[in-house]
Homo-oligomer: A and B are copies of this chain.
Amino acid sequence: MGVIATYLFPTHPDQQAIAEQHALGLTVGSWTDIPHLEQEQLRKNKGEVLSVEKGEEKDRVRIHYPSANFTADLPAILTTVYGKLSFFEGHELVDLTFDDELLAQFPGPRFGVKGIREQLGVADRPLLKAIFKGVLGRDLSFFADQLEDLVAGGIDLIKDDEILFENDLTPFTKRITTAKEILDRHYEKTGHRVLYAVNLSGKTNELHDKAERAAELGANALLFNVHAYGLDALQTLRENNNIGLPLVAHSALSGVLSGQTGSGYPYALTVGKLTRLVGGDFSLFPSPYGNVSISLADALAINKTLTEEKPFEQTFAVPSAGVHPGMVPQLLQDFGDNLVVNAGGGIFGHPDGPIKGAQAFRAAIDASVKGISLEEAAQTNEPLKRAIDIWGTVGTSS
């Protein structure tokens, strides 16, 4: 019972002995110099080196930490397995494997891919998500106008910019009620549900009250800068049944944790596995295509941990930035069908405005799902044609 931490340590001829020292130092402290009777008492707490695989620059070390040593929360687990080791240069924590008993104490997504698809009534295609453009410093009418256009264009989901915090021009509660009115009207007219994720921000100890208030006011999703607060804060929001809303986890600041090759945690752990473990329904991360980007390998590794079958509901991968309609086939090839196509500039930069911009994306998505080329689809879809004229298409063979 416990957790297995997989590390990469700078290669060393005595790696086995070094690993044993860490396994003791991070659990019972010492071993050989304590009496046999005490050893018996401490055996259930003792860390154990499971394997040491030698590599060229780094050795792969796996250490088991018993559940007896920590409570079932990430602050305790991460402090145990990496609190001290994080100070050692080049010592990476590359994976955490929880046993079933420990896993059962984490929630996973409340809705996940399946639940969100049911809410939206969209079973068979990637979702389309939009990003507001330049709401900071603008007023509610600006916000409302953008939202009207985007839902008219056929988006499924929209979120606040992650840098839009509580402010006088577009207060949190007003954004919720304004959006609700627009989204409800849209649903009555079209039967099409749209989620709006309002940015839940402020002091850590006020998050729950604010989120519950948001739910009461009719918010239907929450955006959360999880790495500005810690993964456990997201988990507590997931576990609060008075909130009960889809949670859109934003990866802002995760580059501090995962952005440096050869140190810290990989994105697949922070933005992937652990974000799903604690209950993110959506995980946003920089796409490998834009100017704010991570590597394709990192993006695919995130996607894998979010969508592999077990042990929780799947989390929607939301690769963001640099996405235009001509890239949709590439996105689907890279990430599969269970993703969210997320666009800002690719919608607002459309020559005929954001409604057509969103329509172009929907057409690209529909065509791609059916295996129709965008060039062919564009012949009968003017918005898509105009988008491709500007941005071109991206070959899926690349």
Contact = CB atoms under 8 A, between A and B. Distances in A.
Contact of A162 (B79, B166, B233): B79
Contacts of A165: 69-71, 76
Given A162-B83, A256-B82, A233 B230 contact: yes
A265 interface: yes
15 contacts: A29-B134, A45-B136, A69-B163, A69-B167, A78-B253, A83-B252, A87-B255, A87-B259, A204-B204, A204-B230, A204-B236, A205-B205, A205-B208, A205-B233, A256-B257
A26 interface: yes
A17 to B, nearest CB: 14
Interface stretch (A117-125, A188-196, A286-294): A286-294
A256 B252 contact: no
Interface in A192-235: 201-205, 208, 225, 228-230, 232-233, 235
Given A89-B259, A202-B73, A253 B79 contact: yes
A201 B357 CA distance: 48
Contacts of A87: 254-255, 259, 286, 292-294
Contact of A228 (B44, B203, B230, B263): B230
Shortest 4 CB-CB contacts between residues of A and residues of B: A86-B255, A83-B252, A75-B228, A45-B137
Contacts of A85: 255
Interface in A30-89: 30, 34, 41-42, 44-45, 68-71, 73-76, 78-80, 82-89
A27 interface: yes
Interface string A237-257: 000100000000000111111
A102 interface: no
Contacts of A255: 85-88
B232 A232 contact: no
A264 interface: yes
Contact of A136 (B27, B137, B292): B27
User: By DSSP majority rule, is chain A's interface helix, strand, loop, or mixed?
Assistant: loop
Interface in A330-387: none
Nearest to A206: B236
Interface residues of A, number: 70
A292 B84 contact: yes
Interface of A: 26-30, 34, 41-42, 44-45, 68-71, 73-76, 78-80, 82-89, 133-134, 136-138, 162-163, 165-167, 201-205, 208, 225, 228-230, 232-233, 235-236, 240, 252-257, 259-261, 263-265, 286, 292-294
A203 B230 CA distance: 11
Contacts of A83: 162-163, 225, 228, 252-253
A256 B205 CA distance: 24
B233 A204 contact: yes
Contacts of A75: 201-202, 204, 225, 228-229
Contact of A137 (B28, B133, B236, B286): B28
Contact of A202 (B71, B240, B264): B71
Contacts of A253: 78-79, 82-83, 86
A255 B42 CA distance: 29
Nearest to A84: B292
Contact of A79 (B34, B73, B163, B235): B163
Contacts of A233: 204-205, 229-230, 233
